[in-house]
Chain A
């Protein structure tokens, strides 16, 4: 590998147009209207979608872009998708012949992972927004389709991109508002669950149309010129928010190391280094030292690498509601071709999201070296996903999948939150137990916070959960557990939390642990035991307020036994008190 393999990615810069003369009040009005338009896209999609993956887990992202493919607004949805959508728009427009030949009513589709920064199941649909015949921008929704004919419904062991689902390399699925029937039938033919795909596809198209209509309403109301100057000002404003935060972080190069458990096809851990360089208010996230691209599917295509960096930096900067291109401007991302964070096609990328989840936390860890109060300790670090499918008694096929909660890291301000989604899937929620049991052949034995799973510290980490699912019928699972070898780290003397783990107790009483495993047959009567990780602590355990320790014991968040080991100072004092007062019970 040579220096020529290195590339640096920068967000869309300002156009030549002077921006600061835009009225701050109109800018605020336009900004909110754009957010409101993307919410409309989201609601339209969710209300009519067929897959819980969409309506429950929000495994999608909706956004509006301007004609220069700069992010205008996005609805709160899957953070790891949100930073990739500009790549989707750019690639699909180029692939179909360029912006010049787009006409109103066109809708373009791509599932090519190196363009979308996702596995092929995450299908991006893009619709140009023509406002009075002028191309003003694009609406885009990337959403997880139930199935797109990968070798298995969900894979952890692919060795090239062709095993991972059908590639639609940028096609016009609607031409001037008319569905291209031949292509559509091809798409449906390439799915194990075509009925769900029909529902989800239609929902996605409706969402796009609603977005374009709302977008044009905003342009029409303010006029093209005012609209354009307002968004420039909006971008400047977002950039300022991020720059202010990073200006407070001392200049320097901060290196942190993450370790992936394995690549899905072999067992060896994969250490990787990320350097965050802060200079003034500029941030460079440098992945150039990443290991070579992997023979298994944990490779992260460039759009996904950029997106992970954006999620981490926006979170560290405390970008409140929702981000746009301006927030991304201070962020540079440096990668090296042929590595895990910029793989060359046709590298396998099915688990592209897993290195993203790790990268987001490792970027935070790097920042902790500069400013330990700016970020929390490590979390369980994963979404502890399991996909399962099988047949009901009447022969009907079912499929279920979803992310799960982990403990969050403690911080300078407070204990870590118990059991939340990884920041990379922040807006997602768990499926209700009663819905599980009403819909799928399962019985849930336990869904509870796991005592003692948090890392100790002045502010302890948050707890993970214990989640036991009893299978009532035979089924298959694909497990995608990460961070089963390395726990969520503590900061400033805080201790690590519990690691993630998954095992199956078979009807004969035998137990097998799984982490990444594809199409494992699970007989009826087996119990799948999820043990999701806890967050790392912040600060030395010896500095923890004794009152909080007693509260933790009273509430069963921690056992007394464990607290005696982790926080001996409290019990030593108690002993003295006992001797002096002779009143405390043992």
Chain B
């Protein structure tokens, strides 16, 4: 018998999901976040009476955190220093010289996280083949140490040119730093990433150094608190590349924890796909300030090997979630040419949408939905009461400027919001060679179910799936993951049987490092090894990552098999083939420890507490399908049973979200009893 605690800390809410394997029951809770001391919300809830489950019974505590992300966004990290190869101290500041805004004469890149005076040059050099051209000059490190100490540097990034090919000089530099008396944290670029591209690797290392003190303080603090509360299980943290890592690994590689919410939601969606045998799905997570989407093909999440946070690149496995800055709290505005726009500025949680009555005066997407009756009722999670009058009042000034009435404006706001989300979905699917029309739309996040039928109509999607507790779905997604870590290494060679041998050697040493990572705490669980190769046509820069079957982490296939596999995949993605030679670019080794949770998906429909059978009500709401106001059935989600069928128009309410089921759509609770709502568009 195992009990799992999963907690996703967001900007506004901290979401809990507790899963008891024995009873198959799910407990769900949502509390306001406590930004000044994030762990307090967790502590309060665990200590409180409401959960009905004791932390001391839990075997796993899984945590998604935004501590690292916030440190960067708010620039609240420590004073950093950097050691750089002499001649290259400005890699961090020079970036790639691009202007992010094409027509902006005044554009400046974001301020580097380390000022130039603390980016110090060291005489040393390694070649692209990994040959040490110059050993580290100790005097440079001694001088740097003095400067770091005099400036109160708490964390140092060491990022040397070509260290991906040979780590020796970085290791020597670290030892010398310590020898000369530096006592703070050190992040080494080759440990953070073994791939080439010095700016991206340096940026990742600097981010690692920057978030390290805060993330580690938070994680260790929380770990202590949990122990004091009686928790004796395993503390796991989700990483931006998907999968869980141990507390130990997270404190060694804190940059990997930087972004977890969007990943966890996508993970949850993939878990549902696996369970229900859904081939292609689109995860659509509509939150308060952003919309995140990705395509889940063959139940697998799209991965890429670089991400970005606040315009700073991160060279690490990254779930390829496409994000745009519009959500329920996004503000509507009229630009200087007289067109209506939505976002990216948001009302956040303070003052929040006008209809919350917390003092917000500007119209948000939520206010538009309130004006149109799409939210059905007036109570939301966290004790929020929606005020229709305030929503209309906020919409009015914008409406007047466009010579429209507030309702017309509200219709427009929802239309623009839906269209921009649909564009984002197209960019996440069509641009990758997938047709969204055949996919199932899995909508979640507080506002996902509100927009589900809109998105389906925009994209020509016929099946929607809305899991229960859509507002807490990301936290549930935390539960669906395995313990997993991936290490990689650049190795650029023509693809042939010989290079596969060399690749196997590299892979073996990556698995050796990974074995150390999982450590003793996981004894008894069997490790699964996965291998992938980055390949491209010789001459190209961008590569495709091709999973390759292996026997305990060793590739047995010959080059000719891998060539065929690459060609097949290339044609699938790009629609054509090139007859030119293929090149190996990098090897990727993944070690996975499966955390079996056979009844997890079933738990979605088994919520602790009584089903609330209330009589169906009715509410007048604007129907986009009909283009006018019509009566919508108002139904509580807990009153719908497996096998029930319901025709739109209807509004289905539950504590964490509201589903807007437009006319022309019907709803069916899955016969298997496993999953909640699927909505099907009727043939017109």
Contact = CB atoms under 8 A, between A and B. Distances in A.
Interface of A: 24-29, 31-33, 36, 39-40, 43-44, 46-52, 55-56, 76, 79, 195-196, 198-199, 202, 206, 210, 214, 237-238, 240-241, 244, 311, 314-316, 318-323, 364, 375-376, 404-405, 411, 413-414, 417-421, 423, 426-430, 432-435, 437-438, 443-449, 465, 468, 554-557
A98 to B, nearest CB: 30
Contacts of B96: 429-430, 432
Given A40-B431, A50-B540, A420-B97, A315 B90 contact: no
A28 B200 CA distance: 35
Given A214-B430, A430-B94, A27 B103 contact: no
Given A426-B98, A465-B90, 14 more contacts: A24-B338, A24-B402, A25-B411, A33-B423, A240-B336, A411-B105, A417-B107, A419-B90, A419-B94, A430-B96, A432-B197, A444-B161, A447-B87, A555-B117
Contacts of B426: 36, 40, 214
Contacts of A198: 578, 580
A434 B128 contact: yes
7 interchain residue pairs of minimum CB distance: A429-B96, A446-B87, A405-B97, A25-B412, A437-B128, A237-B337, A555-B116
B598 interface: no
Contacts of A445: 87
A421 B97 contact: yes
B419 A32 contact: yes
Contacts of B420: 32
Contacts of A405: 94, 97
Interface of B: 87-91, 93-99, 101-109, 115-117, 127-128, 161-162, 164, 196-200, 336-341, 402, 411-412, 415-416, 419-420, 423, 426-427, 430-431, 492, 537, 539-542, 573-576, 578, 580
Contact of A40 (B336, B430, B541, B578): B430
Given A432-B199, A437-B162, A323 B91 contact: no
B101 A28 contact: no
Contacts of A411: 105-106
A47 B427 CA distance: 14
Contacts of A413: 106
Contact of B108 (A27, A39, A364, A417): A417
15 contacts: A33-B419, A39-B431, A55-B540, A55-B541, A56-B541, A195-B580, A237-B339, A315-B105, A376-B106, A421-B99, A423-B99, A423-B105, A427-B98, A430-B97, A432-B96
B416 A28 contact: yes
B306 to A, nearest CB: 12
A434 B106 contact: no
Given A36-B423, A50-B540, A315 B415 contact: no
Contacts of A199: 537, 539-540, 578, 580
A210 B101 CA distance: 25
A448 B90 contact: yes
Nearest to B430: A40
B105 A376 contact: yes
Most buried by B among A47, A52, A241, A443: A47
Nearest to A203: B574
Nearest to A360: B105
Contacts of A314: 103
A411 B88 CA distance: 28
B255 to A, nearest CB: 20
A447 B91 contact: yes
B97 A449 contact: no
B98 A428 contact: yes
Contact of B98 (A55, A322, A429): A429
Contact of A50 (B106, B127, B419, B537): B537
B98 A316 contact: no
Contacts of B412: 24-25
Contacts of A32: 419-420, 423
A448 B87 contact: yes
Contacts of B573: 47
Contacts of A554: 117
Contacts of A414: 106, 108
A434 B197 contact: yes
Contacts of B423: 32-33, 36
B340 A202 contact: no
Contact of B103 (A52, A79, A210, A430): A79
Nearest to B413: A25
Nearest to B426: A36
B197 A315 contact: no
A219 to B, nearest CB: 15
A25 B340 contact: yes
Nearest to B403: A24
A449 to B, nearest CB: 5
B103 A426 contact: yes
Contacts of A437: 127-128, 162
B97 to A, nearest CB: 4
Contacts of A321: 101-102
B192 to A, nearest CB: 15
A28 B93 contact: no
B341 A28 contact: yes
A529 to B, nearest CB: 12
Nearest to B419: A29
Given A36-B426, A448-B88, A557-B116, A48 B99 contact: no
B337 A240 contact: yes
A314 B318 CA distance: 36
Contacts of B89: 448
Contacts of B431: 39-40, 43-44
B277 to A, nearest CB: 29
B294 to A, nearest CB: 16
Nearest to A33: B423
Contacts of B416: 25, 28-29
Contacts of A375: 105
A315 B104 contact: yes
Nearest to B418: A29
Contacts of B540: 48-50, 55, 199
Nearest to B585: A438
Given A47-B574, A443-B127, A238 B102 contact: no
Contacts of A444: 87, 161
Contact of A24 (B200, B339, B580): B339
Contact of A433 (B88, B98, B103, B537): B88
B104 A318 contact: yes
Contacts of B340: 24-25, 28
